A and B are shown apart, each in its own frame.
Chain A
């Protein structure tokens, strides 16, 4: 046999070509926006979106308006011409230069509610992204904003839930670039959000100064709060604790004549005020530490990348042209300092009548790994009320984030609560439903239950993503032990409400009402089983033998136990192990957005559900296990008759395999499907009852109504008047 080598190589050559092409594409992608030539019309044309792909940052939009507003933006509409959101060109709104001294021009998309939908870089001049840090890093940085709200306080650095600050991870080595990006994205989004009513416009009233004419010395300035300090200790930045601070800064507001004159002296102050016009200025001195608060970013890029002034959501950065020399502090008793500066806050959105803070943008070094992470430190400042005509401005305290969420989602919350109430009322009236049902016709029960399933699966599960999870239980255990903060739990209103419902119903009726009626995944699982049965797969459907079931059902407790134990050591690991719940894959992230093992696992469980009733719930669900235990102490159980101990009629039909050979219902396993309760009053299905019916029919006795005990109300002769028994 002759082997044709070239023909054998052909496919490899193709493959090689393909790989080369992909490499070329990747390289191209990396450099494509560096100093990209953009059509000049993009910056001026009314029809901006004719010159760039606006839909790339606002998925689903098919039509865009012309430029409108000031600063300008465009509206995007979907195929049914519904307003989908907004697209803005960053250079229309701000030309803050990045590290290169030139702005990064980007296209920003935001939906009609103010959530970022896309951020795309059109052009940048950042040498740093040419020389080592791939451009994709900036793309990844920008991707962090997707889904975040324009009204959030997003900062480069750590998330600080207590301060309502959402952190985004920086790109190491490109601090200036990313800080500017953050500012550009938030400013651009904010400028448009304030025009479109997503955010309330920020107007900070300026207040006239009360000139007291006193000449405060340094101590007085400190006492009255006109100068404040920002101190960072070595341990705050991951260094060995020491006697002296890592950096100690003193700062203050200079426009107030009493403070300004005290700090700068007559000539220094009046010349500064002459120079800055209507702008405002602060001074900073460093009284301890060797680290510069000026850094070096300003040298080429112009930006002082280690300090910012923040007033509520507004961030004021300083550029080289905003800096003046601070020659000395005139106030007697001022400390010696080793670095100093006057920084000008441009524009009128800053007001000294409102509180503000100085932020020092530091680095924290992990001694073990040598890794640097961003660490911001801030100190607050608020000019004394005596210095302001009418005192300090009254601040409309912003709603706590959880309040905001509850307000925003009020309608959904209402619907959700209604669902829970309806189901609870229905279940509380289960007697009426079960009596109306028979073994042959369970629709009075099932109509409600199936409706609940459908709503749970699609509304609660897929839409609200309110699938309760074992991770919440683990979090509570830890919160109970360490620091219980209601705000944290209130942040997800649906989960919060669901859990109140779960706790109440578990102790009233057992876990079955949640597990069997309202758990989105459980509902989906059993619905698939029911559908499977209905479409003719019944003959393939099976259940484990009671013996096997009774052994296997303990597995879920083991799973729960392991998770709880692991969580004691590492909550993160426990949360990773909690992937045993297919909830995240099914509802939160989506089957197609996860790595294949997760998808396979969730899909496998759901596929198995077609043939076996609730396999996950029965054997794996750690949440079910966690709820099963307190179910032991439920208040209202299901009814049983004397005959139940020997009659196995219910047990045969029990999908949950919760009825043991002695006829006892294991409430921990019971899904409260109420099948056995339907039988309980069905005189054609419940053997003792059917027997009695047949007997009465035979002897011609009337069929009296069935009592609460599940028996016909006994026929008693009416006693003669006045007689007693």
Chain B
């Protein structure tokens, strides 16, 4: 009898190991459950999550053999790339090419990367420049889930998705009828379906006004020019819908309940000249009622622009005067505001005044009430508007009720208490909302804190992207590195702890705990339909003047080590790295053919090129792989 019982438990044993996944996945929503008190770290003890501390004293130094506690995802600016930093060390761990070619990995060289980047009919790249400003990652249960990050290209209005398992760009979408795509933010849950408590949309703010479509019409009639706010599907990366808006979108924010997206706006005047753009005392933060917009699209209440099939809804002020049916609402914010940031408690969006020394706190519950018709004036949703310093731009949070805002003109960070600011605005003049100020070096732009954009802001590190570095680093000529300064915010007073140079010119960044990511170590053949999984399948095949070279690498050699082609052939070379050891990456460079790319362990890539000059061309491994790395080379023999 007892034996029978044993057998039953034995049968159930294997699945039971996995049983707990579901329960723990649910635990994330509990909030306080986040990895609290990971104490025994190689570098020393760390405080528990968001625990109020009396003084600073965090150690920014990561000794040899130790690991950074946080990942930082950084935009590269007009290098057009995406970067990964370790925080607190500030060490750059990785660069992910997306919008612009990269000579190291062969981005823009290989057929696969070209297909993602987009090509002209002749096969050459459509764009080789990009300007990345903002990067944000996908959410689940109010925290990052490690699936994706998205990044914008302002120059060519493209959005790229970065897979956070391989840290590669896997899709790029060009937004139609948008110029100056600036702000970007994924949603955090679905506004309607409570089961979808993760990112399914990415919102994109359009900045410049252009004719729609921009095909040469209305060149002299700026009143007909338009800016669009776009919603992109997180999985398919197709544009779900667009919205016509007044004003120029800068940053984008989304609410934790998934119901609201917002973009701060300058130039609500819809002006074209400098003076026009700064004419009004108050610009706006435009709120989008996501559920209503998508219902309108479903109901067919949309138009399209030119040959774009994307549904376009009207979110201008004039078309949305009745709150009960409005798709959008414009909360006024002084003056040419910059930045809109969601507080980790889910209650407020905070806009910075830029040309006004103020921060404006908008209560989201009131915005929702406005859409219900329960708030008479949309500006009644502003619960605080306080002076904090000159040139306020962006705001981060510590999870303890404090906001940290960069003051561009003052070259300062101001720490202020949101509740105190609300009390002050409500009339309590004794409320001391400014807690601390700290000089930074210099001209701070973006700011973010560890876990600040999640429900789990832990109030440990604050990073400030200083646009000017002046005298802070060894001089290297006129072009200076920018200065990413790290501030310990675990105490009442901010403490400048560390600074690190970055190659210009990153804008925005996010910082989150390292255990949230599980990057893959090597590739799998299944990732590549053209993978050459066996040496036996390597070789050369010819179809007319089209030649396919199937090549594999295994340290320290290629197979085949020699192949023959003729002038005029179109060669497609497919290369699979058969090595399976971490770090055993190989390169392939072909002299005079402008070809160099790498294949990581078990990765496959291909290049296609026209054979133009006869002769011997030694192809060789450019990525150190083995003691016999130098000997790793083969011959392309080109017959005249």
Q: Which of B50-80 contact A (CB under 8 A)?
A: 65, 67, 69
With contacts A273-B18, A328-B39, A339-B65 taken as known, whether A268 is within 8 angstroms of B515 at the C-beta atoms is yes
Q: Which of A265-287 contact B (CB under 8 A)?
A: 265-275, 277-278, 280, 285
Binary CB contact string for chain A from 266 to 310 against chain B (1 if under 8 A, 0 otherwise): 111111111101101000010000000000000111100000000
A321 close to B522 (CB less than 8 A) = yes
A101 close to B555 (CB less than 8 A) = yes
Q: Which one of A206, A285, A300, A320 contacts B521 once the chains associate, using CB atoms below 8 Å?
A: A320
Interface check A635, CB cutoff 8 A: no
Interface check B36, CB cutoff 8 A: yes
Q: How far is the CA of A300 from the CA of B628 in the complex (A)?
A: 13
Interface check A118, CB cutoff 8 A: no
Q: How far is the CA of A320 from the CA of B579 in the complex (A)?
A: 13
A255 close to B38 (CB less than 8 A) = no
B24 close to A340 (CB less than 8 A) = no
A327 close to B67 (CB less than 8 A) = yes
A205 close to B13 (CB less than 8 A) = yes
A211 close to B33 (CB less than 8 A) = no
Interface check B582, CB cutoff 8 A: yes
Distance in Å: Cβ of A299 to nearest Cβ of chain B: 8
Q: How far is the CA of A300 from the CA of B41 in the complex (A)?
A: 28
Q: How far is the CA of A336 from the CA of B38 in the complex (A)?
A: 12
Stretch from B4-12, B257-265, B280-288, B468-476 forming part of the interface with A: B4-12
Q: How far is the CA of A185 from the CA of B609 in the complex (A)?
A: 48
Q: Which one of A209, A280, A320, A327 contacts B16 once the chains associate, using CB atoms below 8 Å?
A: A209
Q: How far is the CA of A390 from the CA of B37 in the complex (A)?
A: 33
A325 close to B24 (CB less than 8 A) = no
Distance in Å: Cβ of B29 to nearest Cβ of chain A: 11
Q: Which one of B6, B36, B38, B522 contacts A327 once the chains associate, using CB atoms below 8 Å?
A: B38
Interface check B300, CB cutoff 8 A: no
Q: How far is the CA of A206 from the CA of B11 in the complex (A)?
A: 8
With contacts A206-B14, A257-B20 taken as known, whether A335 is within 8 angstroms of B40 at the C-beta atoms is yes
Distance in Å: Cβ of B314 to nearest Cβ of chain A: 43
A274 close to B39 (CB less than 8 A) = no
With contacts A127-B627, A267-B35 taken as known, whether A278 is within 8 angstroms of B18 at the C-beta atoms is yes
B555 close to A389 (CB less than 8 A) = no
Q: How far is the CA of A59 from the CA of B119 in the complex (A)?
A: 66
Q: Which one of B21, B39, B143 contacts A332 once the chains associate, using CB atoms below 8 Å?
A: B39
Set of chain A residues within 8 Å of B518, measured between Cβ atoms: 271-272, 274-275, 324
Set of chain A residues within 8 Å of B9, measured between Cβ atoms: 207-208, 389-390
Set of chain B residues within 8 Å of A335, measured between Cβ atoms: 40
With contacts A267-B513, A328-B39 taken as known, whether A338 is within 8 angstroms of B13 at the C-beta atoms is no
B42 close to A340 (CB less than 8 A) = yes
Q: Which one of B33, B69, B554 contacts A266 once the chains associate, using CB atoms below 8 Å?
A: B33
B33 close to A101 (CB less than 8 A) = no
Interface size (A, Cβ < 8 Å)?
A: 56
Interface check B277, CB cutoff 8 A: no
Distance in Å: Cβ of B313 to nearest Cβ of chain A: 38
Binary CB contact string for chain A from 95 to 112 against chain B (1 if under 8 A, 0 otherwise): 001000110000000000
Set of chain A residues within 8 Å of B143, measured between Cβ atoms: 267
Considering the complex, give the chain B residue whose CB is closest to the CB of A205: B10
Binary CB contact string for chain B from 602 to 631 against chain A (1 if under 8 A, 0 otherwise): 000000000000000000000000110000
A329 close to B39 (CB less than 8 A) = yes
B20 close to A330 (CB less than 8 A) = no
Q: How far is the CA of A396 from the CA of B283 in the complex (A)?
A: 80
B515 close to A207 (CB less than 8 A) = no
Q: How far is the CA of A270 from the CA of B584 in the complex (A)?
A: 29
Interface centre among A208, A285, A299, A348 (most CB of B within 10 A): A208
Considering the complex, give the chain B residue whose CB is closest to the CB of A271: B518
Set of chain A residues within 8 Å of B38, measured between Cβ atoms: 265, 268, 327-330
B35 close to A337 (CB less than 8 A) = no
Q: How far is the CA of A332 from the CA of B46 in the complex (A)?
A: 12
A320 close to B582 (CB less than 8 A) = yes
Interface check A714, CB cutoff 8 A: no
Interface check A133, CB cutoff 8 A: no
Set of chain B residues within 8 Å of A331, measured between Cβ atoms: 39-40
Interface check B301, CB cutoff 8 A: no
Q: Which one of A206, A275, A300, A340 contacts B581 once the chains associate, using CB atoms below 8 Å?
A: A300
Considering the complex, give the chain B residue whose CB is closest to the CB of A352: B17
Considering the complex, give the chain A residue whose CB is closest to the CB of B5: A390
Interface check A40, CB cutoff 8 A: yes
Interface check A334, CB cutoff 8 A: yes
Distance in Å: Cβ of B170 to nearest Cβ of chain A: 20
Considering the complex, give the chain A residue whose CB is closest to the CB of B33: A266
Interface check B27, CB cutoff 8 A: yes
Q: Which one of A211, A270, A301 contacts B21 once the chains associate, using CB atoms below 8 Å?
A: A270
Binary CB contact string for chain A from 6 to 50 against chain B (1 if under 8 A, 0 otherwise): 000000000000000000000000000000000010000000000
A321 close to B580 (CB less than 8 A) = yes
Q: How far is the CA of A438 from the CA of B542 in the complex (A)?
A: 101
With contacts A127-B627, A338-B42, A338-B65 taken as known, whether A208 is within 8 angstroms of B16 at the C-beta atoms is yes
Binary CB contact string for chain B from 558 to 580 against chain A (1 if under 8 A, 0 otherwise): 00000000000000000000011
Set of chain B residues within 8 Å of A269, measured between Cβ atoms: 24
Considering the complex, give the chain B residue whose CB is closest to the CB of A300: B581
Distance in Å: Cβ of A349 to nearest Cβ of chain B: 12
Distance in Å: Cβ of B562 to nearest Cβ of chain A: 17
Set of chain B residues within 8 Å of A285, measured between Cβ atoms: 40
Set of chain B residues within 8 Å of A340, measured between Cβ atoms: 42
Distance in Å: Cβ of A5 to nearest Cβ of chain B: 49
28 CB-based A-B contacts, threshold 8 Å: A97-B581, A101-B580, A208-B9, A208-B12, A266-B24, A267-B28, A268-B38, A273-B18, A273-B20, A273-B21, A300-B581, A302-B581, A302-B582, A320-B581, A320-B582, A325-B514, A328-B41, A329-B40, A330-B38, A330-B39, A331-B40, A332-B37, A335-B40, A336-B42, A339-B42, A348-B14, A353-B13, A390-B9
**20 new A-B pairs (CB below 8 Å) besides A266-B28, A330-B38?**
A208-B16, A218-B40, A257-B20, A261-B24, A266-B34, A268-B38, A273-B17, A277-B18, A278-B18, A301-B581, A321-B580, A325-B67, A328-B39, A328-B41, A329-B40, A330-B35, A338-B65, A389-B13, A390-B5, A390-B9
Residues on B facing A (Cβ under 8 Å): 5-6, 9-10, 12-14, 16-18, 20-21, 24-25, 27-28, 33-42, 44-46, 65, 67, 69, 143, 146, 513-516, 518, 521-522, 536, 554-555, 579-584, 626-627
